[in-house]
Structure 1
């Protein structure tokens, strides 16, 4: 389920690290389903409440499929030392990383904050981080005594509760109004150099003067390779900009720290980030055909396929053996038409330029099964949330056509926020003012050789409060077909309001069966993506109900905890992946994300982003980019255009990798490939560099002698029974082994 992100009060949430004391609230919470305002009282005996971990949502801790009210309680001593160590002593600050979906916060029975500072109804979705300030002289605070924090949560659907990386109490500080802005892109120079500009900015009235320390560390050796301290002063509207260049870097990530110390108060703020490193070789000028080896369509339905190919422009395309009814545009490489007869049609594709030509054997499979390999595309939600509009979609489609389509990326999917407030008089769904003409938009996307997707819910309303398809399934499916839609994401959301409180397996299947039947009545291939967060072990029955993919998990966030928890938790679902039917662990969180309209660089490190893409490709899942496509920096583009990596995801065998080794701090996942090779991901889950030794016998690859580094697209010289590799913290070595 998707949530509408609210803005945290007063603070820039990414600016952490002031020296003032901080009291962690990550342990000791109690939880109870239901609702009673008496649960805010300090007199309540909560010893029989359930213990709960605020690092995870309540669904994953024994409260599966539970929506509605729940309460969290914590007993904590608030020491006066927090106040004594602070430069500003006026307010206490309570930070809650994520509230899903809305909240009221009580301290010792007194209401101190609600709804993230906006909204009027706790049942309104206000998902996101919270920061509440309480005056230090507020009598609700019991200094040096036990305090009871009670938080009333209302969850509208999907994952619910308090969860995330940071829950704390501290004093309001001089640095609370300061942001070390590192959102600018790195520049790439000669001799493996990197450059960047960062800014010190403030929204407060305080004038800052002090020192900025800049340090670059090699995390593999722990050595400092560069350090410099500069004078820095800034005030509201007058940021301080620091520009640097560091050179002769190896192909790995380095840690950069920025620490500003204010001269008057002595307080500090720090921020760290890692440096990008590009592994994918630059595409050759020689022509090369990329993408999957097979493409499926249903007989009698419109056919659209753009041949993905790289090489020096202009390229010329040929296709021998096309079935009757299909035609190729030799300039664009776009195949269109209609095939009426079922069958597997072997086609020889050829792409030529001034340097040479390349051929590829390709199968067009006309039958009942579509989506024979996982979808490669973009979805608007993780970037734009409900702020998506026609212009953003067109810009994204053009960027995909120009930069990614040559590597097989094909889908442009509009998520929630396109629907009008009310249906037409005849019951037909309509678009709102942000999308003046959906058919014209679809025609534009199709003209680029791409496909377009849309979003709805089987309930009366979507997650964002827009119109769902409840009791209008046939009508909506027909409208989607008339518009030219190629992909439908169908999100459970408010369906919980119209089905049983504790739905049976039959109840969980029903809305998807109804829409599947509606889609089957129209003359169009529409990929059907279930979004119901893995309820009822959907991977066991998703194919039976007609899904091309199904979410296996709650919503992903751009953190290591979220991404790794989801990615490494897919073993149970993995055996059910098959051509036309795939698990979906949610969209990608690389590039500039933010859930709209304000974006930030993903909080995943560069090593973590390599892990993210590698793990998703090994598991044969849909790859749906979730970033601003108009600002694809060099590193993100490098991640998304490695054809050997994408080939692992797009392998025609359609199998997911499985974990074959799980040891302290690392895992090894292996995927069977159609050509008999094995794709292997060696993942370092620890916070330090590890040299990982992979025994061929133990991993079941004893006869596989040739090892190819897939990211760098080169063979590795290796002999003996063990394959050893040094892997960065939270990083990966992705290889393909051949006999």
Structure 2
């Protein structure tokens, strides 16, 4: 079975001589020399006395814990095992929960991850907090957190060691003793990892700790961090309050997107007191844009996922708090009905996800996974609302309300999400009509050449939009001119104002994205002024040269990768740019090519002037006997070539595609449907002929 992470230093543990897997923790190392292949047991008299007879297993009773998804903080994503993870940091986060209003918004758990303990237990078999990191001990930290009306969480592993390379003591065989220590310290939340588990059955390992926690008599939320290896959503509801459904998240779009797609289908298994956990939030760590972080937060909320902040709040920009403290979005996550959102449609990367709310409304996410702005639409009835003459539509990021006759539609920026709450009630008449503002064309621009963009303002409301006007603004120096009307006195329901625009980038404009803003203003019948704004991007491109070129030598329009950046003429390597190795497939080394990691999408501008793409493809040898991927070539939104599933055991395979007349070509790698572990994928000797 493949590991859920991609780092070459991480391995799955099945026995005493195996190495450890990471679960949002540190690097792996071999199990300690001389360690028994079976689970170690408490051997001291004190430890034996602390282990009562096992609590009879059975369906989890309603213990009143985690009736909505837990909200709080965990240090791992921002600090790992670095020295900055210490008592001062934990107290500082607790202080900021109060200062920034996060506690009032529902965040309550301040959780410690790996590296809080010394590497050896004491003479009585007890865990010992690291005196350098926590000079006053864990109980003093818990007391500090509790004094602020917050709760403290802690971490250990269902194995002989935790997941960090230093090999801190795990709880396998020490469950009752460790659980009692946690309770005595005042711990309120336990994250229980999966490393160095000695091959002990997962249900047995996690059942034992459940029984040990119950035996303490203290209310402790139990987070099962089993990475989804044994489908915990099918059995863990009788053990814990939440369970990891995926491998570790990383602070990049590809990782977040992959995890999102794995967690979405598991909606039937979630509910009050039992939650699918797609891992902690990366918001604020700097690897994604604010648009992508808003998508991250929106989609975790509509999936009723735990909201555990993974950034060091002492260092993040104010925009991070604007995202994390959006109470209207938090209310979607924390809705007492406890339903996880379900996928209504997902065609071509345009997703509609709907969550039923306790008050009968629906939260609706219009999510754009693609690299360009997209129109995404649905209707109130398709989302499950009863038929009505009109509905109230609330935009949860703009904090504005509108009325709609039933149509729900928006132009969603690349990697963006529009999050709405739609209600069938009689209040709709108090709000202006919703309008859809969209643009077609003008996406790809060659400097010095005139390009046409068409905008359309459509009234979605039950009431007419009056005194409608539209304007398009672009970068300094660009020529932007309307070539048709830009105003309309009134737009009844379903009617549109369509405007053509001519845009020209000055000669010499650098390649890349250049921002535009499309804005419409209008009035409701009651005279209320409303405005809708859509950010757009025109991408300045250069035509590819005639003849045959190595794709690694050409500029790409965009490159999305599962882990780390896409690499030119080397393999993917690890997380950092330039850390790849010579491209090697089945022992054959290639001097030229592209190193990717599933899921990956590399986009090239071909200007309708190219004929073919060819490559030798496969899983790079740097991951050993692991990895399964599918290579695809797409031309103008149509798949024109595919390899089928390839494994590391296969030599390089040829792939070619006819791309005649295409404006844009995509090189895509998927995970073959089994997760992204070890999926280092090479486009060796990849060529474009024009």
TM-score normalised by structure 2 residue count: 0.52
Offset at residue 568 of structure 1 (A): 2.5
Aligned mate of 1:732, from 413, 417, 430: 417
Give the whole-Å Cα distance in 2 for the aligned partners of 1:606 and 1:519. Answer: 39
TM-fit CA distance, 1:702: 5.4
> Given the alignment of the two structures, is residue 633 of structure 1 paired with residue 330 of structure 2, yes or no?
no
* Contact preservation (8 Å) 1:122, 1:154: no
Q: Which residue of 1 aligns with 2:116?
A: 418
Q: In the alignment, is the contact (CA less than 8 A) between 1:100 and 1:126 conserved in 2?
A: no
State the 1:64 CA deviation: 4.5
Q: Which residue of structure 2 lines up, in the alignment, with residue 475 of structure 1?
A: 177
User: Judging changes above 3 Å, is the alpha-carbon distance between structure 1 residues 585 and 514 closer, same or farther for their aligned structure 2 residues?
Assistant: same
Partner of 1:536: 230
Cα distance in 2, alignment partners of residues 489 and 154 from structure 1? 18
Q: Which runs of 5+ in 1 are unaligned?
A: 1-62, 68-97, 104-120, 129-152, 158-365, 500-506, 593-601
Give the Å deviation of 1:444: 0.4
2:308 aligned partner:
624
Listed as ranges, the matches of 1:546-557 within 5 Å are: 546-557=239-250
Whether 2:97 is the aligned partner of 1:375: answer: no
1:559 is the counterpart of 2:252: yes
What's the secondary structure of 1:693's corresponding residue? Answer: strand
- Kept in 2, the 8 Å contact 1:373–1:654? The answer is yes
After TM superposition, the structure 1 = structure 2 runs for residues 115-126 of structure 1, keeping only pairs within 5 Å, are: none
Deviation of 1:572 after TM superposition, in Å, equals 2.9
Between the aligned partners of 1:124 and 1:724, the Cα distance in structure 2 is 47
Which of 53, 73, 79 is the matching residue for 1:384? 79
Residues 147-174 of structure 1: CA deviation (Å, up to 9, x unaligned): xxxxxx99979xxxxxxxxxxxxxxxxx
Displacement after TM superposition at 1:689 (Å): 0.8
Aligned to 2:134: 435
Q: Does the 8 Å CA contact 1:401/1:450 hold for their aligned counterparts?
A: no
Aligned equivalents of 1:623, 1:127: Cα separation in 2:
17
Of the three residues 707, 710, 721, the one matched with 2:393 is: 707
Indicate how the Cα distance of structure 1 residues 671 and 626 shifts in structure 2: closer, same or farther if over 3 A, else same: same
CA-CA distance at 1:102 after TM superposition:
6.0
- Return the alpha-carbon distance in structure 2 between the equivalents of residues 656 and 678 of structure 1: 12
Residues 65-214 of structure 1 aligned to structure 2 (within 5 Å): 99-101=7-9
Rounded Cα–Cα distance in structure 2 between residues aligned with 1:432 and 1:480: 15
> Counterpart of 1:683?
367
Aligned partner of 1:449 in structure 2 is 149
Post-superposition offset of 1:124:
8.3
Check the 8 A contact 1:420/1:431 in 2, yes or no.
yes
Aligned counterparts of 1:475 and 1:525: Cα–Cα separation in 2? 16
Equivalenced residues, count: 379
Given candidates 168, 181, 199, the residue that maps to 1:466 is: 168
1:569 aligns with 262
Pairwise CA RMSD of aligned residues? 2.6
| Higher deviation after alignment, 534-543 or 479-488 | 534-543
2:186 maps to which residue? 484
Q: Aligned to 1:440, what secondary structure does the other structure show?
A: helix
| CA displacement at 1:123 relative to structure 2 | 5.6
Instruction: From 260, 273, 277, give the equivalent of 1:584.
Output: 277
Alpha-carbon separation, structure 2, partners of 1:395 and 1:703:
50
Matches within 5 A, 1:237-386: 368-386=63-81
**Paired residue secondary structure (2:130):** coil
- CA-CA distance at 1:604 after TM superposition: 1.2
Q: Shift of the alpha carbon at 1:368?
A: 2.3
- Which of 91, 103, 108 does residue 405 from structure 1 map onto? 103
Question: d(CA) in 2 for partners of 1:652 and 1:102?
Answer: 38
Equivalent position SS for 2:364: strand
Q: Confirm or deny: 8 A CA contact 1:416 1:455 kept in the other structure.
A: yes
Distance 1:585 1:634, change over 3 A: same
| Structure 2 contact 3–21 (Cα < 8 Å) conserved | no
User: What secondary structure sits across from 1:370 in the alignment?
Assistant: coil
Give the Cα–Cα distance (whole angstroms) in 1 for the partners of residues 402 and 355 of structure 2: 19
Query: Structure 1 pair 490/122, CA: closer, same or farther in 2 (3 Å)?
Result: closer
Can you give the 5+ residue segments of structure 2 that lack an aligned partner in the other structure?
Answer: 12-16, 32-60, 425-690
* Structure 1 contact 481–522 (Cα < 8 Å) conserved: yes
Whether the 8 Å CA contact 2:23–2:248 is kept in 1: the answer is no
* 2:524 aligned partner: none
* Cα deviation, residue 548, structure 1: 0.6
Measure, in 1, the Cα distance between the counterparts of 2:350 and 2:21: 38
Distance in 1 between residues matched to 2:339 and 2:407, nearest whole Å: 26
Distance (whole Å) between structure 2 residues aligned to residue 654 and residue 449 of structure 1: 24
Shift of the 156–642 alpha-carbon distance from structure 1 to 2, 3 Å rule, reads: farther
TM-fit CA distance, 1:718: 2.8
Q: 1: CA distance between counterparts of 2:374 and 2:355?
A: 23
Name the CA distance, whole Å, in 2 between partners of 1:583 and 1:100: 27
- Whether the aligned pair in 1 keeps the contact of 2:119 and 2:168 (CA below 8 Å) is yes
1:580–1:517 CA distance, 2 compared to 1 (3 A)? same
Aligned to 1:667: 351
- Tell me how far apart the structure 2 counterparts of residues 127 and 534 of structure 1 sit (CA, whole Å): 11
* Distance in 1 of aligned mates of 2:29 and 2:346: 34
Q: How far apart, CA to CA, are the structure 2 residues paired with 1:527 and 1:607?
A: 32
**What secondary structure sits across from 2:7 in the alignment?**
strand
Q: Which residue of 1 aligns with 2:676?
A: none
- Quickly say closer, same or farther: Cα 1:402–1:66, change in 2 above 3 A: closer
Is this contact kept in 1: 2:361–2:385, CA < 8 A?
Answer: no
Relative distance call for 1:568 and 1:580 in structure 2 (3 A) is same
Q: How far 1:701 sits from its partner (Å)?
A: 3.5
